[in-house]
Structure 1
Amino acid sequence: MRRRLIALAAALLGGAAPVADAPRWDAPGAGNPLLPGYFADPSIVREGSRWYIFATIDPWGDDRLGLWTSDNGRDWRFSMPEWPTKQAATSPTSGDAKVWAPSVVKAANSRWYMYVSVGSEVWVGTAPSPAGPWRDANGGKPLVKRDFAPAYHMIDAEAFVDDDGQAYLYWGSGLNWVNGHCFVVRLKPDMVTFDGTPRDVTPQGYFEAPFMVKAGGRYLLTYSDGNTTKDTYKVRYAVGTTPFGPFTEGANSPILETQRDRDIVSPGHHAIFRSGDQSYILYHRQALPWPQTGEAVLRQVAVDPIDLRGDGTIARVTPGHGGPVAGFAAHRTRGLTWRAGRNTAGTPNSPAKAADDNYATLWRAPSTGGGMLVADLGRRQRVARSLVRPEFATRPYRFAVDASDDGRRWKPVATAATRSGSPIAIDHAVTARYLRLRTAEPGAGVWEWTILP
């Protein structure tokens, strides 16, 4: 109770305290979701001091991928790689499915490779850095065609580079929410050519999203089972002595699944990475509150510790809403302290939610017109810039900013302009006590509004 009161008090003062594991999904300062927005199927890598997360854009894919970059693991900036695109990665055998499920790895040749699903086929690209520039690596052809195994989806490819530098590619998903098959092939040093014939290594309870990890000298094939649009999605694992198996499901599998009492719904399609001395699982789960309204499938990316044991097993994951990651900053950049002003959209979407340092909660403008957020800085002071994290990083928004000394008489300091991305930066060098963020867009949502001096 004391921890909740401290976090709540911090939020009311305009900056939420970092929470070791927020007791509720809507608690101020919660670290999960990690990213502001709706994304799925994450792949995470690090080059130098910078982290990169490649992900599917929800709802249900886009014509491009989402890329989030961060130098501290907490403040993330959105962009979209130049490759792949739905138009560029299309073949005579492609279906109409969007761009999904990237897997990015660094090969023994020091180049980076991306294996990605487009049109229910697997494509491969390469770049000198995770930042790009990304280019097709297979002559404009899919690496795995849709008709390779027509009874299953040819998606969710994941590359695994063994300790000796040898690379393998795993892929495969089911159709119509019926469990699928998992295929694996050894890759030649060019990371594109198959070295041998793909093998079927499907473990028990496999649906999709294979991810290979090695621990205790054993090969642990982790994967998803269930329906990601409902509350049945989960992560299982199976153990083998070679990258080709045979794989036997772990005695304590599944290791990550829906926990209604913790507001964790349908976690899966993950990546496992290491930071410091600890391993973590990065995955998507259903956006809250659950169940969602409407037909769109909206998922968010979360991260939790995972224990890869020395005996070649994996401990069950305890998913949460705020656990810190070793090497990540303790909290996000909060900017100036501000108190939320009047509520124009009803209690569930109060302006305070745009200042609670939580990417699961947002302020939303009324559905019948635009709205405004009023920030009281407590005293008159210089305010140079706003960072606005909108609900959808890929959609255009028109925000304007006004300033006031008394909260009654306002002057415009940043005119409305069409912008997209996350965060959206709005410059407004002015000295004032109050700022007002305005939008004329009905239903526009804001995860966080950060005001910088």
Structure 2
Amino acid sequence: MPRLTTRLHRFAPALLLLAAPLTLAADEPARWDAPGAGNPLLPGYFADPSIVHDGNSWYIFATIDPWGDKRLGLWTSENGRDWRFSTPNWPTKAAATSPTSGDSKVWAPSVVRAANGRWFMYVSVGSEVWVGTAAAPAGPWRDANGGKPLIARDFAPAYHMIDAEAFIDDDGQAYLYWGSGLNWTNGHCFVVKLKPDMVTFDGPPRDVTPENYFEGPFMVKAKGRYLLTYSDGNTTKDTYKVRYAIGATPFGPFHEAPNSPLLQTDAARDIVSPGHHAVFRAKGQSYILYHRQALPWPQSGDTVLRQVAVDPLTIAPDGTFAPVRPTHGSAVAGFAAARDRGLEWTPLGDGEAARAADDNYATLWRAPARGSGTIVADLGAIRQVAGSRLRPEFATRRYRYALDTSRDGKRWTRLLAPGDHQGSPITLRHPVTTRYLRLTVATPGAGLWEWSIDGETAQRR
């Protein structure tokens, strides 16, 4: 059996036993907008994901779309399916900016646990790489390099100094890979050995660019081989993909594998521009976590909206990859439990409201562009209700909601007065015995991925 080393190696041994080659389940549901799809994994628009496991929790750090934000997104889950959104205290655009950073926002985190037990984050701010540290993935985080970038913009001005990814080898030695191109061409990949402090360079950086490299390097070790995975193409179009190259050392030389690309657009199945990924393990199986274009695609105007997906990754006995067949979710059942959907309900009236109860983070119910919109949920019988969990289109924006209750669907009583809320999930406490609930969304044009209604005995997340 080949051996795999990724960012979790040495620190989560129970996750690192390589499974036999995976036989993919049928891709059900076949359509992206069918009920019950497990991909996208997260409810919202995020990109460039980095995933770690610590204690009983999973953590996904990611770029906030559209096209970055003044801070990062952090999603936390105990079961791999029900995720809670927050924003780490560091970095922010204001706290991690130098005179040469440029106007670009906070992008592309890489989070690893070092041999000394501390966690380190390598993150792009502007066109530079910064480094922070924390005692735990949830933070609090702080700058680890004296308030200056680890890799300045002028290190190699012909390329973007972004997309840094840390790799820890079997012996505990850490390496840092980074680099992207300009104007969607001319990407170069650099690597440097890190000293135990995870900040100081141990020797000069080297250019190890393989064929067809653009950005987003991620190192995987299998059966003594170093597999440099990376993205190529344009993430705003349908050309983005994951390729990989093979080398005998962390410094290469690297040459693209004969069966590369590893992951690419499957337009017939509505999977567009998968890329900028991370590789991890769970329950003895390897997975690739990545972003792809939000659906339906293309988006209107110049908006760039991406969503995070996960699919199984098979490593052959010779330490090479088998190409990934991206799915709409069924093949990731081994990674995570079923979502906690709460009480079953059906919408009354507007058929579009069913999108808020279809267990699919690719489909939205949307309020009218002017005025308010309503969804009436029928629980099928009079039941005890504890509250609601709302997953809005954008976890960083504020939305205004009100809630009414009725036992017969005709006479209504105000349960929650209109109020402003933010986050994901937005948790509303409203204990009541009822059959019908009416949710009013008073933010024009607001989108809602899912509305979960909890019974009194439900364990709410």
What's the CA shift string for 1:33-63, capped at 9, x where partnerless?
0000000000000001100000000000000
What's the CA shift string for 1:399-424, capped at 9, x where partnerless?
11110111122111111211111000
Is the counterpart of residue 436 in structure 1 residue 443 in structure 2?
A: no
What is the CA distance between 1:260 and its match in structure 2?
0.8
Is the counterpart of residue 76 in structure 1 residue 78 in structure 2?
A: no
Q: How does 1:32-431 map to 2 (within 5 A)?
A: 32-325=39-332, 328-343=335-350, 350-431=352-433
What's the CA shift string for 1:262-283, capped at 9, x where partnerless?
1110000000001111100000
Distance, in Å, in 2 between the alignment partners of 1:145 and 1:407 is 62
AA aligned opposite 1:139: G
What's the CA shift string for 1:385-407, capped at 9, x where partnerless?
10000000000011111101111
Equivalent pair of 2:79/2:337 in contact (CA under 8 Å): no
Distance, in Å, in 1 between the alignment partners of 2:117 and 2:131 is 16
Distance, in Å, in 1 between the alignment partners of 2:301 and 2:371 is 20
Distance, in Å, in 1 between the alignment partners of 2:376 and 2:127 is 46
SS at match of 2:354: helix
Distance, in Å, in 2 between the alignment partners of 1:375 and 1:430 is 14
Equivalent pair of 1:239/1:312 in contact (CA under 8 Å): no
Distance, in Å, in 1 between the alignment partners of 2:263 and 2:331 is 18
Structure 2: gaps of 5 or more residues: 1-24, 456-461
Distance, in Å, in 1 between the alignment partners of 2:29 and 2:89 is 37
Structure 1: gaps of 5 or more residues: 1-17
Distance, in Å, in 1 between the alignment partners of 2:147 and 2:176 is 19
SS at match of 2:330: coil
| Residue-pair matches, total | 431
Distance, in Å, in 2 between the alignment partners of 1:252 and 1:228 is 22
What is the CA distance between 1:381 and its match in structure 2?
1.4
AA aligned opposite 1:75: D
What percent of counterpart residues are identical? 74
Equivalent pair of 2:283/2:335 in contact (CA under 8 Å): no
AA aligned opposite 2:167: F
Moved more, 401-410 or 244-253: 401-410
What's the CA shift string for 1:123-152, capped at 9, x where partnerless?
000001101111100000000001111111
Equivalent pair of 2:80/2:337 in contact (CA under 8 Å): no
Moved more, 59-68 or 362-371: 362-371
What's the CA shift string for 1:352-393, capped at 9, x where partnerless?
000000000010011122101100011111111100000000
AA aligned opposite 2:182: L
Distance, in Å, in 2 between the alignment partners of 1:156 and 1:387 is 34
Equivalent pair of 2:124/2:164 in contact (CA under 8 Å): yes
SS at match of 1:351: helix
Distance, in Å, in 1 between the alignment partners of 2:362 and 2:328 is 9
TM-score normalised per structure 1: 0.93
AA aligned opposite 1:421: G
Equivalent pair of 1:52/1:67 in contact (CA under 8 Å): yes
What's the CA shift string for 1:199-249, capped at 9, x where partnerless?
000000000000000011100000000000000000000000000000010
AA aligned opposite 2:281: R
Match of 1:3 in 2: none
Query: Could you say if the C-alpha distance between residues 26 and 125 of structure 1 is closer, same or farther in structure 2, counting changes exceeding 3 Å?
Result: same
Equivalent pair of 1:112/1:126 in contact (CA under 8 Å): yes
Cα RMSD for the two superposed structures: 1.2
What is the CA distance between 1:112 and its match in structure 2?
0.4
Equivalent pair of 2:355/2:364 in contact (CA under 8 Å): yes
AA aligned opposite 2:273: S
Distance, in Å, in 2 between the alignment partners of 1:336 and 1:278 is 32
SS at match of 1:427: strand
Runs of 4+ residues deviating >3 angstroms:
18-21, 324-330
Distance, in Å, in 2 between the alignment partners of 1:45 and 1:156 is 17
SS at match of 2:355: helix
Equivalent pair of 1:177/1:226 in contact (CA under 8 Å): yes
Equivalent pair of 1:26/1:358 in contact (CA under 8 Å): yes
Distance, in Å, in 1 between the alignment partners of 2:148 and 2:78 is 34
Match of 1:8 in 2: none
What is the CA distance between 1:21 and its match in structure 2?
3.3
Distance, in Å, in 2 between the alignment partners of 1:174 and 1:151 is 8
What is the CA distance between 1:326 and its match in structure 2?
6.2
What is the CA distance between 1:20 and its match in structure 2?
6.1
